[in-house]
Every structure is written in C-alpha cells, then in structure tokens.
Amino acid sequence: MPRVGLLAALALVLTWLLMVVGATTRAEGAGLSCPDWPLCHGHVVPPVDRAMYPEAPRYAVHRVYLEFSHRVLAACVAATTLVLAWRLRQRRRTRRAALLLGLLAAQVMMGAVTVLAGNAPWTVIIHLALALSYLSAVAATLVQELPLSPHAPVGSVRDVLLLALVDVQLLIGVVVSAHGYGLACLDFPLCEPGLPLAGAVAWQVAHRVAGFSILAAAVMAVVFRPLHFRRHGALLLALVLIQVALGAVNVLWRLPPLASGAHLGVAVLIHLALLRPLLGWGAPRDVVHTRGLPVHTRVSA
C-alpha cells in the first residue's frame, strides 16, 4: 500500500505538470482544440487523422493532442487525489481528506466551465486560483508526512507578504495571458516611450512592476536574512532570476508556447519556495519554536 507522503508528493508533481501543460496549451492557442467536455471531439481518445477535424487552425492534430494531454494529466491528478483522500481517511485525517476532495471537485467543475464558456478570461483566472489552493493543500499534506520536518512555521510576516505578492503576480499574469495582453509592451524591461498607461499596457506594466518588486525582495532575503535561512533565500533568488529571464524571452521572442509554460511553472515553484518556511518544511534543526516564533539556539553535539 503506498505511503501517504509518496501519494502527496506524486499529486504535487502531477499538479505542477498540469499547470505547466495548461499554460503551454493556452499559449499555443489550443485551449479550445477539444470543444466538448469530458470527451474530445466525441471520442475518449481523439483521432490522429487531420481530416476528422474542422479546418480551423486550432484543430490541428498537435493542438488537439496538446489539449488532450492536459485532460489526461487532470485525470491522473484526480485519481491520485482520490487514493490520497482514501488513505487520509484511513488515518482519521478526515478534514484534510475533505479539503482535498472539495478543492478537486471545484477544480474539475471549473475546468468544464472554462471549456464550455470558451476560455472566458474570468474562468481562466478562477481556474488558476483554485489550482494554487489545491497545490498548497497538497504541499501542507506532504509536509505533515515528512519525518524530519518540524511541522511548525518558521517564516515571518515578510514571507507571508511576499507570498501574497507572488500570488497576486500570478493572477495578474493570467489576466495578461487570458486577455491577450502579453505583447502590449514590445520592449523589455521597459515599455516603448509614449504608450498610454491604460488598458492592456497598464496590466502589462503592473505585471512587470510586481515582478521586479519580487526580485528586489528576493535579493533582500539573501542579504538580510539570518545565516540559517540564507540557503533558502539563494534558492528563491535563483528562481526569481530565471523567471525574469523567461519574462524577457516571452516578450522578445513574441510568446513562444514553451517559454510561456515554463514561465508559469517557475512562478509556481516560487510560490512553493515561499510556502516552504511557512509550513515548517526543511527548517534548520537548531530552530526551537516558542509560541509560533522561531528562536535560534545552538545544539550541543
């Protein structure tokens, strides 16, 4: 029988892959390549013959299969979650199981609404928000199963605020993507001079301002955090620098789908990196928790 921790880790990885493939699918213009749900063009497995589809470019076979792969991954996430919830109930963690099942059900329904509503921007935004909520709940479940984790928060208010900023940045990014504002500014890191700060340009500028604010905060996390947490700060800074580079690639290379998918994938990794100290995941072993606040002490050999 698989351990709960392994199931939670599998659900975490599959959900991350699902989000990356979803972003790549949207960037490729394949979000509606399977116009029906839960089947794809009336089939469980879509045909490979191009003549079986309408002539519109979005029904190219590779686009249909990109959207189909997204649905297959979603089914794998659902199956893993059901088994994980069953194992949690066996261990009398009923609330955790109910939370995961509730978030899964909401996400499945939102996936159907997103397709049937023609990828309306508001549906894409809610879909991502639910995915982040589910991912965070799975991460918390995984941390509970790690034998070396102190299972107590070691983050600060600054970490909470930075996590909130990253999540706002993610939601701004999906607004930019869903409305087609990704190329509102064709230069990087600045917009072209003289563009009015309104509409698509305003959203793109807000996305960039939030991104560079996160970069500044990550630099401060390396320079000003206690020595115990410098390694975590360095990981965060590395992820943010990769994210900024992917943002530049997306603009300068005019939104290549793989870069767009990677851009969301790294953003989700930043979310998890910031969630890590708040869950007590991988805290230094010489941190003693007093009333929820980390107190650093020396541990004798």
pLDDT in tens, 169-179: 999 999 999 89
Termini Cα distance of the chain: 38
Task: Give domain limits for the chain.
Answer: 1-145, 149-301
pLDDT at 149: 52
pLDDT tens digits, the chain, 301 residues: what are they? 458 889 999 999 999 999 999 999 999 999 999 999 889 999 999 999 999 999 999 999 999 999 999 999 999 999 999 999 999 999 989 999 999 999 999 999 998 999 889 889 999 999 999 999 999 999 999 988 876 555 555 667 888 899 999 999 999 999 999 899 999 999 999 888 888 889 999 999 999 999 999 999 999 877 876 666 677 788 899 999 999 999 999 999 999 999 999 999 999 999 999 998 888 765 544 444 443 444 443 333 2
pLDDT in tens, 47-73: 999 999 999 999 999 999 999 999 999
Rg (CA), the chain: 21
DSSP code at position 191: P
CA distances from 3 to 8, 159, 204, 256, 285 (A): 9, 31, 44, 39, 24
| DSSP β-bridge partners for residue 290 | 293
CA distances from 229 to 7, 58, 220, 235, 268 (A): 28, 47, 12, 10, 20
pLDDT at 290: 41
User: What b/e sequence results for 165-188 when a residue is b if at least 16 CB atoms lie within 10 Å of its CB, and e otherwise?
Assistant: bbbebbbbbbbbbbeebbebbeee
